[in-house]
Amino acid sequence: MTQTHDPTTMRYRDLPPQAKLLRLEVANDLLRQFQYWRGDARLNAWQEGFLANMVRRLRETQGKCRISEKEWVKIREIQVAMEADLPDEMECYEESFGED
């Protein structure tokens, strides 16, 4: 697996200046995206908790926190879920009342 689209997973203080700028830029974009995704009907409770934790970490470290490969896998899974179509409200209503 390559990390071409992921910020480096090295510690912030070990990064060269250009990589530090990239890390902060990506972290800022992630923070905005995670805040936008929170509360969406396509996410389950675990994904909601994961996003809440990531938002907290990004805020507390001001974007300097490392994001592990496992976390990137989860972020990609959530991204796939967010790209799925929202369930039709009428279908959900009909299913809950057993109507056809």
Could you tell me if residue 75 is inside a domain?
A: yes
In the predicted model, is pLDDT for residue 29 greater than 80? Answer: yes
Q: Is residue 59 part of a domain?
A: yes
> Does a structural domain hold residue 7?
no
Q: Is the pLDDT of residue 10 over 50?
A: yes
Domain that holds residue 93: 12-97
Do residues 95 and 64 lie in contact, with contact meaning Cβ atoms separated by under 8 Å?
A: no
Supply the pLDDT for residue 100: 52
Whether residue 62 has pLDDT greater than 60: yes
| Predicted pLDDT at 55 | 93
Q: Is 3 contained in some domain?
A: no
pTM, full prediction: 0.70
Would you say residue 89 lies in a domain? Answer: yes
Residue 38 lies in a domain: yes
DSSP, collapsed to helix, strand or coil, labels residue 16 as coil
> What residues contact residue 84 under an 8 Å CB cut-off, 6+ apart?
42
**In a domain? residue 31:** yes
Structurally, the chain folds into a number of domains equal to 1
Using alpha carbons only, what angle is made at residue 37 by residues 34 and 8, rounded to the nearest 5 degrees?
30
pLDDT value for 56: 94
For the chain, give the number of residues. Answer: 100
CA distances from 77 to 30, 41, 49 (A): 14, 15, 14
Does residue 6 fall inside a structural domain? no
